Amino acid sequence: MGSVYLMEARRGPGRRAGETRTREAILDAARRRFGEQGYDGATIRGIAADAGVNPALVHHFYGTKERLFAAAMRLPVVPSEIITSVLGAERDRLGPGFLPRIGEILTGTMLRAWDVADIRTAFLGLLRSAATSDQGVVMLREFVTSTIVASLTQVAGLGDDAEGRYRATLVASQVVGLGFARYVLGLEPLASATAEELTKAIGPTMQRYLTGDIGPESPANPANPESPESPARP
């Protein structure tokens, strides 16, 4: 799949030199602002000001903030668009059969995306930047929360509340760890397992995190304040 979601390649030869310079100025400004202010803090208006262009031009070139971020970070795909389109298509196709299989579908989608070298490289680049710089951490945390967690809660029909976000961040923990163990550390035999094998092993984990029992005392269900274990303080 992957290639369907790859962002449009730059039209180098056919593009006027002035437009190319303007785009580069916007992407430079975006990288700086995202790095300094994080994903949520950076605005298209501020990035446009730094690049000396009208905000409307930034919207014209890149559309949404997420697409601008993806272009600035050289991500070949826009993560929430993959989640929404692939999982949305499966939801439409399977109807009520979708939710009981969402863990398996999500795991398979992710592993097939990582099979595309450009996507894998970009994902690992974000992980490395978060592992090594505080700027990278803020950027990646807010990006994951605002785009991936948000689109996942939406497509899985989770509430946009503490429980929905807890479930989505549990999923994120297994996703990040799988990528790290498989592609950074290369732990065997995990690293050379096929996507099908891993979908069988890890799909049920995703399924439980998204729709199953994750414990009565999740952050979404704070312990009963009147329970005997936590008496009101005098």
Binding site for a copy of itself (CB under 8 A): 127-128, 130-132, 137, 140-141, 144-145, 149, 162, 165-166, 169-170, 172-178, 180-182, 184-190, 192-194, 196-197, 199-202, 204-205, 208-209, 214-220
Residue type, 224: N
Query: CB-wise, 38 or 91, nearer to a copy of itself?
Result: 38
Four-residue CA torsion sign, 78, 82, 83, 88 = positive
Q: CB neighbours (10 Å) of residue 181?
A: 13
| Tokens, residue 105 | 């579908």
Q: Which is nearer to a copy of itself, 19 or 196 (CB)?
A: 196
Shortest separation between residue 218's beta carbon and a copy of itself, angstroms:
6
By 3-state DSSP, what share of the chain in percent is helix, strand and coil, each rounded to 5? 70, 0, 30
Closer to a copy of itself by Cβ: residue 3 or 227 = 227
215 in the Ramachandran plot: left (φ > 0), alpha (ψ -120 to 50) or beta?
A: left
* Residue 225 Cβ vs a copy of itself, minimum distance, rounded to whole Å: 15
Residues contacting 29, CB < 8 A, separation 6+: 47, 48, 50, 51
Contact present, 128 and 197 (Cβ < 8 Å) = no
Measured from the CB atom, the residue of 67 and 141 that comes closer to a copy of itself is 141
- Closest CB 124 distance from a copy of itself, rounded Å: 8
Distance between CA atoms of 28 and 167, rounded to whole angstroms?
35
The CB-of-122 to a copy of itself minimum distance in angstroms stands at 15
Nearer to a copy of itself, 89 or 191 (CB): 191
- Nearest residue (CB) to a copy of itself, 154 versus 169: 169
Cα dihedral 178, 179, 184, 188, rounded to 10, equals: 40
Joined tokens for residue 77: 């795909």
Minimum distance from residue 229 beta carbon to a copy of itself (Å): 11
Task: Report in angstroms how near the CB of residue 55 gets to a copy of itself at its nearest.
Answer: 30
